Structure 1
Amino acid sequence: MPQAPLANRQLDDPRLEAKAHELMLTIRCLTCQSQSIADSDASMAGDLRNQIRTRIAAGEEPEAIRKWLVARYGDYISYSPQVTALTWPLFVLPALLLLIAALLLRRRFIKGGK
Structure 2
Amino acid sequence: MVIEGMNQTLMQHARCMQIFANLSMQFWAKVVNIAFYLVNRSPSTAINLKTHQEVWSGKPFDYSGLCIFGFLVYAHVNDGKLEPMAMKCIFVGYATRVKGYQL
- Could you say which TM-score interval applies, normalised by the shorter chain? 0.3 to 0.5
Larger of the two Rg values belongs to structure: 1
**Which protein is richer in helix relative to its size?**
1
**Which protein is richer in strand relative to its size?**
2
